Amino acid sequence: MPIPPGHLGNLTPEQEAKLQDLWTATLRVFGIEDPHHVSGTDTPLAEEESIVTEADGKDKKKSKRRLGVFKRKDDKKDSSNGSATPTKADSDDKYGQVKDFHEIVATQDPEMLRATFWSMVKADHPDALLLRFLRARKWDVDKALVMLISTMRWRSHEQHVDDDVILRGEGGALEDSKSSDPAVKKEGNDFLTQLRLGKSFLHGTDKEGRPLCFVRVRLHKGGEQSERSLERYTVYVIETARLALRAPVETACIVFDMSHFTMANMDYTPVKFMIKIFEANYPESLGAVLVHKSPWIFQGIWKIIRGWLDPVVAGKVHFTSDVADLEKFIPKSQIIKELDGDEDWEYKYVEPVPGENDAMKEEGPRKELEAARDVEVREYEKKTFDWVATGTDAEAGKIKEERNSLARHLNENYWELDKYVRARTLYDRTGMISQDGKINFYPPPPGKAENHHLAPTSNPPTVETSADDLD
């Protein structure tokens, strides 16, 4: 499958320069100085953050600082997008991220931001993660930096993605459901109820090899689960889907099954939350959204929802009314029978197994792997500065390969570390995600031999993929 433009492995020289600029700015926010710069020539980050750039871009301090942060080896450009202190005059700052950015840089420990970033990377190629933010912000480095740093705080302070949702997962929810504290018990039950119902689930791929996420809208009724449990469940599904992505596939396809939909199923609060996090915190993650069998009463609702969507996201929404429409996106052999397709598969929730998360209690192996990861991360950061400073194509090519090699090591390290930092999920129990990071989108039912008769025969990649399938 060809690599799309603007993705790792298919960048123009200008796009690669933007990636270098974003890395430089990001590492600077993390408190990491470029060893290639002479000490004392750069404006301190605190001073940079205090500069409020005018909308006309003529602030002299900004120009001086840019020479420190973004000066390239050939000094060819002084891009209007190349600053580490974004302007407040940002007309498309839909979620107030510029204000968040200024508060974060002023108040949060840079090392904590750095730790959150590398925790978010997980098995991804670090470059691929930054490129998501650049593409989402049309290669504007300022806006990509704001979006990235705001996402770090959202993960660590608002949703506690890595230290709660992923760390405790389904097993933690089961534990909470047995709590003597009524509030804790409800949160645990609410989270598990959504899994047991199969309100949404991951299964299979579309024609582009993108993981499929099915949402049965009829199973949701406003007020039945708390807002917090709905948000945690949504993040849990997205983070699990992230683990299944393999380059060059970087997006998922969501199928909203609207059959038997009534107004009792309509709940604007979780819809707004999903829109917000896909636009602000999981950029470039949606490949297609299929709204299947929506009744006429949904037309008015869609007009409201469409008004909330970024035009690019809205352009990915397609309405399908029958299996023939679905076949434009998903081979019929991979459309589940519930949606009138040929795949004889149905969702069944497998409860957490006692002891499945025992590895998370083993501090020794975890700390050893985390220490090894930190060494690789610091070397990757150093090589990133070397890459930015290279003067010839030959030098750059050598360093890029060294960085890619380090990215592969980080990927391998993550999958060794995974069982110590991520609670097991339904998809681990059913064999979609294996312990070594291989993904089988069509795992056999328990007790049956592995079967690949549903594997795509053309266009999509094979359904089983390895953890080291990096760009």
> What's the whole-number mean pLDDT along residues 261-274?
97
Q: d(Cα 195, Cα 191) in Å, to the nearest integer?
A: 7
Q: Among 1-5, 17-21, 54-58, 179-183, whose mean pLDDT is lowest? A: 54-58
Q: 334 pLDDT exceeds 70? A: yes
Cα separation, 130 vs 245, in Å, equals 16
- Compute the half-sphere exposure of residue 391: CA atoms within 13 Å on the CB side of its CA: 3
Strand, coil or helix: 442: coil
Superfamily of domain 193-339: CRAL-TRIO lipid binding domain (3.40.525.10)
- CA distances (Å), 280 to each of 30, 121, 137, 150, 153, in order? 20, 17, 10, 8, 12
Choose the weakest-confidence range: 46-55, 337-346, 461-470. Answer: 46-55
Name the pLDDT band for 63 (thresholds 50, 70, 90): very low
**pLDDT tens, residue by residue, 170-205:** 999 999 999 999 999 999 999 999 999 999 999 999
Burial class of 297 by CB neighbour count within 10 A (0 to 12, 13 to 18, 19+): exposed
DSSP 51: -
Tell me the CA distances in angstroms from 12 to 7, 139, 283, 428, one per residue in order: 10, 12, 20, 38
Spans of all domains in the chain: 13-158, 193-339, 359-465
DSSP 355-407: TTTGGGG-HHHHHHHHHHHHHHHHHHHHHHHHHHH--SHHHHHHHHHHHHHHH
> Which residues is 256 bridged to in the sheet?
215, 291
pLDDT of residue 86: 59
- What is residue 53's predicted lDDT score, i.e. its pLDDT? 41
The predicted pLDDT at position 394 comes to 79
From 65-69, 72-76, 401-405, 467-471, the region with the lowest mean pLDDT: 65-69
Residue 4 has pLDDT above 70, yes or no: yes
Calculate the average pLDDT of the chain: 87
Residue 254 pairs in a beta bridge with 213, 289
3-state SS, residue 333: helix
- Over residues 439-452, the pLDDT tens digits come to 999 998 766 655 44
Sign of CA dihedral 235, 243, 26, 140: negative
Cα angle vertex 380, ends 375, 385, to 5°? 130
Tell me the three state secondary structure of residue 467.
coil
What's the average model confidence in pLDDT over 270-297?
98
Buried b / exposed e over 89-128, threshold 16 CB at 10 Å, is ebeebeeebbebbbebbeebebeebbbbbbbbbbbbbbbb
Mean pLDDT within 425-431: 98
467 pLDDT band (50/70/90 cuts)?
low
In the predicted structure, residue 433 carries a pLDDT above the cut 70 = yes
- CA 408, distance to chain mean position in Å, is 18
Cβ pair 256, 217 in contact under 8 A: yes
Q: What is the pLDDT of residue 395?
A: 82
pLDDT digits (tens, 9 = 90+) for 22-39: 999 999 999 998 887 745
- Give the whole-angstrom CA distance, residue 36 versus residue 201: 48
Please state the pTM of the whole predicted model.
0.86
- Give bridge partners of residue 336 from the DSSP assignment: 343
Instruction: Choose between 56 and 217: higher pLDDT.
Output: 217
Q: Which tokens belong to 17? A: 């320069």
The whole-angstrom separation of Cα 444 and Cα 450 is: 5
The mean-pLDDT minimum among 64-68, 148-152, 217-221 falls in 64-68
Q: Positive or negative, the Cα torsion across 248, 251, 252, 256?
A: negative
Location of structure tokens 């290279």 = 390
Q: What percent of the chain has pLDDT over 70?
A: 83
